[in-house]
């Protein structure tokens, strides 16, 4: 509340004003790309699906962000597909949204980068990634997780080793003030598959089984 020449006035933030007007603060989800490198059987964007893939251009996304800023959108998410496949441009777009003063900027990954944890440069690469993200105003980073059982999750995604890579990466992210969240996919395998049969170890059989019993 502020006083002006004997009368009181209240200044509300852009986040509060819509609530007082009976609206929720706007949020915008930009599906930046449908390119993906994972094999999730529940998703039509899995990498084996045959259709023409695309990505919004940087200029298109900047125009969308301009309009969002004008509309006082409070939350903006970049999704995919797998947006981290275009990491440098994604970071530029997060920077642009920060510059346009969008308060809550979010993005996420299927975690494929973390399946590289056996590489000698892995720790260095994660420091590098965390440092780049920490330079932006990114508010939330989610990592999608499909099952409480690591082996099931990795099998569903087609990303062997990704859970170990996440374990190594998390403390590094924390050093940079980034606290990734788990984006939980609710599906029949969330509690684990139990024993994955030898047949289902083959990804195409796993996919067939998942769909035959849908
Ligand atoms: S990572 Fe996401 S976009 Fe890619 S196949 Fe899995 S659910 Fe679909």
Residue % of the chain over a pLDDT of 90: 67
Query: Which of 36, 113, 185, when mutated, tests ligand 1's pocket best, judged by the most ligand atoms within 8 Å of its CB?
Result: 36
Q: Poorest-confidence range of 33-37, 179-183, 198-202?
A: 198-202
At residue 164, φ and ψ (nearest 5 deg) are: -60, -40
- pLDDT of residue 157 exceeding 80, the answer is yes
Q: Which atom of ligand 1 is nearest to the CA of 81?
A: 3
What's the CA-to-centroid distance between 182 and ligand 1, angstroms? 14
Q: Ligand 1: residues whose CB is within 6 Å?
A: 36, 38, 40, 43, 45-46, 80-82, 110
Separation CA 210–CA 214 (nearest Å): 6
CA distance 111 to 165: 9
Cβ atoms of 65 and 102 within 8 Å: the answer is yes
Looking from the CA of residue 80, the nearest atom of ligand 1 is 3
pLDDT exceeding 70 applies to what percent of the chain? 81
Nearest to 188 by CA among 150, 152, 159, 135: 152
CA distance 154 to 58: 31
Q: Which residue's CA is the closest to the ligand 1 atom numbered 2?
A: 81
pLDDT, position 132: 95
- Higher pLDDT pick, 13 / 183: 183
Ligand 1 atom nearest residue 34's Cα: 3
Residues paired with 143 in a beta bridge: 109, 182
In a 13 Å sphere around the CA of 193, the CA atoms on its Cβ side amount to 17
pLDDT for position 207: 74
Neighbours of 57 (CB within 10 A): 10
How far away, in angstroms, is 192 Cα from ligand 1 center? 18
Give residue-wise pLDDT tens across range 160-176.
999 999 999 999 999 99
Architecture of domain 27-39+51-212: Alpha-Beta Barrel (3.20)
29-49 pLDDT, tens digit per residue, is 999 999 999 999 889 999 999
State yes or no: pLDDT of 71 exceeds 60. yes
Q: What is the pLDDT of residue 20?
A: 73
Task: Please write the tens of the pLDDT for every residue from 110-152.
Answer: 999 999 999 999 999 999 999 999 999 999 999 999 988 898 8
Cβ pair 124, 162 in contact under 8 A: no
């Amino acid at each position: 509340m502020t006083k002006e020449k004997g009368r009181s006035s209240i200044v509300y933030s852009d986040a509060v004003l819509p609530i007082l007007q009976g609206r929720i603060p706007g949020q915008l989800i930009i599906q930046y790309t449908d390119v993906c490198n994972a094999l999730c059987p529940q998703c039509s964007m899995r990498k084996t699906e045959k259709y023409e893939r695309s990505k919004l251009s940087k200029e298109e996304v900047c125009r969308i962000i301009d309009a969002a800023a004008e509309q006082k959108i409070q939350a903006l998410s970049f999704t995919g597909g797998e947006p981290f496949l275009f990491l440098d441009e994604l970071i530029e777009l997060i920077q642009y949204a920060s510059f346009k003063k969008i308060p809550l900027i979010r993005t996420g990954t299927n975690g494929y980068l973390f399946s590289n944890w056996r590489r000698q440069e892995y720790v260095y690469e994660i420091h590098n990634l965390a440092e780049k993200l920490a330079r932006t105003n990114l508010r939330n980073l989610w990592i999608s997780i499909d099952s409480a059982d690591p082996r099931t999750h990795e099998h569903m995604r087609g990303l062997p080793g990704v859970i170990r890579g996440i374990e190594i990466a998390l403390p590094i992210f924390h050093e940079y003030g980034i606290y990734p969240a788990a984006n939980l996919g609710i599906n029949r395998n969330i509690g684990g598959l139990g024993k994955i049969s030898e047949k289902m170890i083959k990804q195409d059989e796993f996919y067939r089984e998942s769909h035959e019993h849908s």
